[in-house]
C-alpha cells in the first residue's frame, strides 16, 4: 500500500471579508474532491492566517505510478484555474508493506 501526499502552498489574495477568502478555498477543495475522489484539507498556520494557506491532498493505492499521476493531475487542475496564487508544492509517498 502506498499513500501519496500533495501539499500546495497558496498565497490567498486580499479580500474584503474572510467569507470571500473561505469561498475561494472551498471552491478549490470542492473541484479537487469532485474530479478526483481524494481527501482534501486546508491547513492554516496561525502566524500566516489570512494570507497563506496549505492545501493537503491525500490518496491511497497499490501503485506509486498511479498516485503520482493522480496527484500531478490535481496540481494541474489547481494551476489551470488559479495559477497566480500558487506559491509552491510538494509531493511525498509513504510505502507500507
77-90 per-residue burial string, b: 16 or more CB within 10 A, e: under 16:
ebeeebeebeeebe
Tell the CATH superfamily of the 2-95 domain. TT1725-like (3.30.70.1120)
- pLDDT for 51 equals 72
Taking all residues of the chain, what is their mean pLDDT, rounded to a whole number? Answer: 89
C-alpha cell at 17: 471579508
User: In the chain, what percentage of residues exceed pLDDT 70?
Assistant: 90
pLDDT (tens digit, 9 = 90+) per residue, 17-47? 778 888 888 999 999 999 999 999 998 765 5
C-alpha cell at 56: 493537503
Amino acid at each position: 500500500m502506498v499513500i501519496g501526499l500533495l501539499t500546495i502552498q497558496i498565497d490567498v489574495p486580499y479580500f474584503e471579508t474572510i467569507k470571500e477568502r473561505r469561498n475561494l478555498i472551498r471552491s478549490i477543495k470542492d473541484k479537487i474532491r469532485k474530479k478526483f475522489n481524494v481527501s482534501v484539507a486546508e491547513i492554516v498556520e496561525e502566524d500566516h492566517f489570512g494570507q497563506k494557506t496549505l492545501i493537503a491532498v491525500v490518496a491511497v493505492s497499490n501503485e506509486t505510478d498511479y498516485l503520482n499521476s493522480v496527484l500531478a493531475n490535481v496540481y494541474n487542475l489547481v494551476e489551470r484555474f488559479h495559477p497566480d496564487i500558487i506559491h509552491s508544492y510538494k509531493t511525498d509517498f509513504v510505502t507500507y508493506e
